[in-house]
């Protein structure tokens, strides 16, 4: 006898649930109602009662499905800025982290953005990132990504209006699961988060960017550039050895032309390494003719090898960017550093110790 496989609720889009639940007498409208009841109310079992629905149908759905839920291992709130870091366990033994970013400055419009992980650990080896030091452990399943948002919504007194795939992992290396999760987060019977408020970030995995463009994905894309000089980039972001700046920028231009949006390029600033007027010139050369926005982020390196620029260095760099580029340059606040929740600081239970052998600042790679 063939056993019916268990349907994992949070793994499926509304359309898939409609097909999977049809044999149990569920029509597409009811499938949508069930999906929204489970996801929006963070239920861990199928409702026992629903308007205009027979209990027999609900019982059959209950028997055929499972609603997996992440286990919360730890939660830390930054006393400095309210950033909150959650440590979750999903299908495997290794926990992973999620950060809740508070946007509470406009009275009456308080909201949160959730920074989700897409993998446990990461294979990309970026020089300044704590996650890189863990190495790659595994890809997260769609439900494990979706449930990071569901559990944080449940724990929050203001709505979650945005999701950024900037936690642990390189989203483009778990492409199918990431896009599946983003679909569930955005669809009307899912969590109904506006696609324009879902941002997928990559360090430069070109096949993923090209696929994202080809598939006309509605989400925002951010590419971490961090150096516009190939040799320097190789020493900071090893992805440059596989996908060169030339190849990357060709894929980025293709995406920008199709989407028509101003291309967001992230730049992790490291003192003495990538914040000189020459770096600004190189960015201008690389992006000539393309509408871009440069997103400056201070490096957060718990080992102390890479340092953020001083106020004076930052000002010179910004002035050079404004003069060379003539396009928007913003500085992203990277909060939660006091609880190791800042960009590049997520390492699960793995402690990242200060590097006592290194001097305070690396010599310039240029």
Q: Which residues bind ligand SF4 (CB under 6 A)?
A: 122, 124, 126, 129, 131-132, 168-170, 203, 344
Q: Indicate the residue among 168 and 339 with the shorter CB distance to ligand SF4.
A: 168
Q: Indicate the residue among 335 and 344 with the shorter CB distance to ligand SF4.
A: 344
97 is an active site residue: yes
Q: Which two tokens stand for residue 110?
A: 């308080």
Q: What does 188-215 look like in DSSP terms, one character per residue? A: TTTT---GGGEEEEES--HHHHHHHHHT
Q: Indicate the residue among 14 and 208 with the shorter CB distance to ligand SF4.
A: 208
Q: What sign does the CA torsion over 209, 212, 213, 219 have? A: negative
343 is an active site residue: yes
Q: Indicate the residue among 47 and 238 with the shorter CB distance to ligand SF4.
A: 238
Query: Are the beta carbons of 212 and 200 closer than 8 angstroms?
Result: yes
Distance in Å, CB of 39 to ligand SF4, minimum: 26
> Whole-angstrom Cα distance, residue 308 to residue 302?
12
Distance in Å, CB of 205 to ligand SF4, minimum: 9
Query: Are the beta carbons of 173 and 123 closer than 8 angstroms?
Result: yes
> Whole-angstrom Cα distance, residue 14 to residue 34?
9
Distance in Å, CB of 355 to ligand SF4, minimum: 17
**Residue of 282, 343, 353, 359 marked catalytic:** 343
Q: Which two tokens stand for residue 242?
A: 């596989």
Q: Give every CB contact of residue 250 below 8 A, 6+ residues apart in sequence.
A: none
Cα separations (Å) of 277 from 317, 324, 327? 6, 9, 16
Q: Pick the closest to residue 266 from 241, 243, 236 (CA basis).
A: 236
> Whole-angstrom Cα distance, residue 248 to residue 144?
29
Distance in Å, CB of 169 to ligand SF4, minimum: 6
Q: Indicate the residue among 34 and 245 with the shorter CB distance to ligand SF4.
A: 245
Distance in Å, CB of 208 to ligand SF4, minimum: 12
162 forms bridges with which residues in the sheet? 113
Q: Which residues are catalytic?
A: 97, 343
């Amino acid at each position: 006898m063939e056993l019916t496989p268990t349907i994992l609720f949070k793994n499926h889009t509304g359309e898939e649930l409609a097909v999977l639940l049809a044999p149990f007498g569920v029509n597409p409208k009811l499938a949508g109602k069930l999906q929204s009841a489970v996801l929006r109310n963070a239920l861990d079992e199928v409702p026992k009662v629903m308007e205009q629905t027979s209990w027999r149908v609900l019982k059959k759905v209950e028997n055929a499905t499972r609603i997996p839920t992440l286990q919360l291992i730890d939660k830390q709130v930054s006393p400095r800025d309210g950033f909150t870091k959650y440590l979750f366990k999903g299908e495997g033994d290794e926990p992973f982290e999620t950060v809740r970013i508070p946007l509470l400055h406009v009275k009456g419009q308080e909201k949160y953005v959730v920074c989700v992980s897409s993998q446990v650990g990461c294979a990309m080896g970026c020089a300044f990132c704590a996650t890189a030091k863990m190495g790659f452990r595994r890809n997260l399943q769609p439900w494990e990504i979706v449930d990071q948002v569901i559990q944080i919504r449940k724990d929050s007194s203001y709505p979650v209006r945005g999701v950024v795939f900037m936690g642990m992992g390189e989203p483009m290396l778990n492409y199918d699961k990431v896009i599946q999760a983003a679909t569930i987060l955005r669809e009307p019977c899912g969590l109904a988060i506006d696609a324009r408020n879902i941002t997928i970030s990559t360090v430069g995995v070109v096949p993923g960017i090209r696929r994202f463009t080809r598939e006309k994905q509605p989400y925002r894309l951010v590419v971490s550039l961090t150096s516009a000089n190939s040799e320097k980039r190789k020493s900071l972001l090893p992805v440059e050895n596989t996908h060169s700046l030339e190849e990357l920028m060709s894929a980025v231009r293709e995406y920008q032309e199709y989407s028509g949006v101003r291309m967001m390029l992230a730049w992790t600033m490291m003192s003495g390494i990538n914040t000189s007027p020459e770096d600004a010139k190189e960015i201008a050369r690389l992006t000539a003719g393309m509408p871009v926005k440069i997103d400056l982020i201070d490096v957060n390196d718990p080992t102390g090898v890479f340092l953020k620029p001083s106020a004076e260095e930052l000002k010179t760099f910004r002035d050079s960017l404004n003069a060379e580029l003539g396009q928007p340059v913003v500085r992203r606040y990277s909060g939660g550093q006091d609880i190791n929740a800042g960009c590049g600081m997520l390492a699960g239970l793995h402690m990242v110790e200060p590097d006592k052998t290194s001097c305070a600042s690396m010599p310039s790679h240029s």
